[in-house]
Structure 1
Amino acid sequence: MPIFDRTKPFNDLPLLPLTEDITNDIDVLKKLVLASRALATVNSNVLRLPNPLMLVNTIALQEARTSTEIENIFTTEDELYKAITDTLKEEQNNTAIKEVIRYREAMWAGYQNLDTNRGIDLETITRVFQQIKNTTSKLRSPQAQVVIKRGQSEFRAGEIIYTPPRGGAIIESLMKNLIDFLNDDQKYVDDPLLKMCIAHYQFEAIHPFYDGNGRTGRILNLLYLVQKQLLIQPVLYLSKYIIINKEDYYYHLGAVNQHRAWKNWILFMLNAVENTSLLTSSLIDEIIKQMAETLAYGKANIKWYNKEINETLFSQPYCKPANLAKVLKRSSRTTLTKYMDELVTAKILTPRREGKEIYYLNEDLIRILQS
């Protein structure tokens, strides 16, 4: 194996599949069973929802916020939830909020592309990147001197820790190989979960775009699981595990670069899938339970309260009268305000004034999402 030099372009990045016999390792196979079982639990819980799409945006928003935190773009749930009520114009939102909302939109763009292209291709991956970065750029240019450095808060700040492959033909060839690996199940017969783990490393090592590769790669993970029908909706909350274990994540990535330490990387990623599947499943359990309690309470205390209203109130943590207008089939501002006041009196919603705007919080949902 050639000596790895962090300061030189990794143009010798090996093509897939792996030459290492990792798929028959007993530790990997045991962890694969546990991760697959936990992932199946998420799917069964999503199917329990009255509308499987109802909570995707809420959970996707958590994934988006956490994924951007990994790359040090911070925002609070409070700011973010208000932004997605669609009552604020984009130019009123700060940069961090825009980044998170673009991540969510990028995930949906990629998800919709799966139906159009019937697979993950370079167009889908590029569209996700472009949505995240709000750009028309494509694969990074051959002359771009892209390097990965330690952050300013880290020991030996500014030190080069990785130099991705460089050269247009090289990047295009590596991406073609990666996409073939993901889509050709006859030539590359590994279990889809193992392929996701391997492909995630390969994508981050190729680093095909000038920026946003981490977020693009994490969305690619979810899209691939949906494509392979291991997830029916892109609701797996993977980024929380990665940010909690951020140092291990980058350590294992680097260990594959330098030592081809595939086993520990795959075990880390399978553990991420297992733990996040259990977390996501528990999150859905709690939301479903709270929805049922709120529906029973609402119907007992408000004569017009029904299942559709309840689902609307649990579709996102903040709402405005306009969010209920379509369900209530009422357009009068006075009437809608009266209904909102009844929800407040019943303590189903809590009002919060921000300047001239009033937002109505579903504090039960916020409590669950922030736990």
Structure 2
Amino acid sequence: MSFNANLPFALPVLPPALHLEDAGLSRLLLQARTELAELKGFAHALPNPMLLMSPAIMREAVASSNIENIHTTVAKALQMQLFPEAQQRQPDKEVLRYREAMLWGFSQLDKLPISTRLILGIQKELLPESYGYRTSQNRIINSSTGEVLYTPPAASEIPALMGNLENYIHEEHLDADPLIKAAITHYQFEAIHPFGDGNGRTGRILMVLQLIHEEVLHYPILYISGYINRHRSEYYRLLREVSVSEAWFPFIQFMLRAFHAQAKSTKETLFAVMNLYNQVKEELREKLPKVYSADLVDALFSYPIVTPTTLAEQLGVHRVTASRYLEALRENEFLSDEIAGKHHLYINKPLIGLFTDN
């Protein structure tokens, strides 16, 4: 593998020639698989997994977008989802598209294998205006110095390289563990850099969906971008070192540590969410029996920031009734409220706090 940052990279096809019999790697792999298995089991046991995971997916969307210097917060994105796209700030619009791309990809797994068609569909959900493989050469440049850090393969090579990537994902006879395979796939996709924009975000969505495809997870809940964002410099350095010197082990080790840490963190967050859900359900039934319904509690967790109009739509009641419910919840300190322009927002602050990184 010859590397010159200024020339289109001659990216080797998969699989790489690796010998993975390493005690340190085996230990990291066992730790990551153990935490992911616990996360999978806990999430599967939740009474309504996707309901309680809705803010978790938003947090992943915020962190993944932050890696690309698209900055917002979970609270702001949850607020903006209530309004038409024309009223959304651009960063929030990008984050909400990321969430929709993740959910779209997850919904397609029963119909489509992990494939170039699925990957293109994810990128289209993210960036409908610039959909499809790039047709010209692009480069990754240090924004501070102007130095060319990496020149991806020529556009003419993308279809063949993406076809090879798809074949590798579905090679069942390979000995590679699904987590190692996901790490290798992630590097390869980022190295191909098939799109003019959205490569990083598409690659991180693909990584989570690949773990679901491999039955490591049931749901797209792993907060992987949180780890990558905290260790961004190391992540990019290790990606580059695979290209420069085929240094696969350090990158795979990094990803195994990421899987382990984020499976543990995600599990702890979901456990706290479930406890809060049960607490709110019990206290609401006791304090406001005329307002309480299971559907109302579900709505407060699906929409941690809600308006009377949104709640009315979720419960199938009149807006006046929804307003009365929300005021009762505010008066009894289940929710706080604020005015944003002409909108009256009601906020589940304890829930949002569980998805806000320090």
Output the TM-score relative to the length of structure 2: 0.96
Stretches (4+) displaced over 4 A: 326-329
Q: Which residue of 2 is the match for residue 92 of structure 1?
A: 87
Q: Which residue of 2 is the match for residue 165 of structure 1?
A: 153
Q: Residues 105-254 of structure 1 correspond to what in structure 2 (within 5 A)? A: 105-117=100-112, 119-135=113-129, 137-141=131-135, 144-152=136-144, 157-168=145-156, 170-186=157-173, 188-254=174-240
Paired positions, count: 356
Question: Do the aligned partners of residues 203 and 329 (structure 1) sit closer, same or farther apart at CA in structure 2, a change above 3 Å counting?
Answer: closer
Cα distance in structure 2, aligned partners of 1:294 and 1:91: 34
Residue 269 of structure 1 and its aligned partner are, at CA, apart by 0.3
Q: Does the alignment pair 1:264 with 2:250?
A: yes
Amino acid across the alignment from 1:200: H
Q: Does the CA-based 8 Å contact 1:178-1:199 persist in structure 2?
A: yes
Residue 322 of structure 1 and its aligned partner are, at CA, apart by 3.3
Q: Which residue of 2 is the match for residue 274 of structure 1?
A: 260
Q: Which residue of 2 is the match for residue 361 of structure 1?
A: 347
Question: Do the aligned partners of residues 344 and 167 (structure 1) sit closer, same or farther apart at CA in structure 2, a change above 3 Å counting?
Answer: closer
Amino acid across the alignment from 1:211: D
Show structure 2 runs of 5+ residues with no match.
none
SS at structure 2 position matched to 1:360:
strand
Residue 326 of structure 1 and its aligned partner are, at CA, apart by 5.3
Show structure 1 runs of 5+ residues with no match.
none
Residue 167 of structure 1 and its aligned partner are, at CA, apart by 3.7
Cα distance in structure 1, aligned partners of 2:254 and 2:105: 25
Cα distance in structure 1, aligned partners of 2:129 and 2:313: 34
Q: Which residue of 1 is the match for residue 13 of structure 2?
A: 15
Amino acid across the alignment from 2:294: K
SS at structure 1 position matched to 2:219:
coil
Question: Do the aligned partners of residues 265 and 212 (structure 1) sit closer, same or farther apart at CA in structure 2, a change above 3 Å counting?
Answer: same
Q: Does the CA-based 8 Å contact 1:149-1:161 persist in structure 2?
A: yes
Amino acid across the alignment from 2:172: D
Q: Does the alignment pair 1:37 with 2:34?
A: yes
Cα distance in structure 1, aligned partners of 2:325 and 2:193: 51
Residue 101 of structure 1 and its aligned partner are, at CA, apart by 0.8
Deviations 1:226-283 (A, max 9, x none): 1111110100000000000001101100111111111110000010000000110010
Q: Which residue of 2 is the match for residue 48 of structure 1?
A: 45
Q: Does the CA-based 8 Å contact 1:312-1:323 persist in structure 2?
A: no
Q: Which residue of 2 is the match for residue 316 of structure 1?
A: 303
Cα distance in structure 2, aligned partners of 1:213 and 1:330: 42
Q: Does the CA-based 8 Å contact 2:183-2:252 persist in structure 1?
A: yes
Moved more, 25-34 or 306-315: 306-315
SS at structure 1 position matched to 2:60:
helix
Output the TM-score relative to the length of structure 1: 0.92
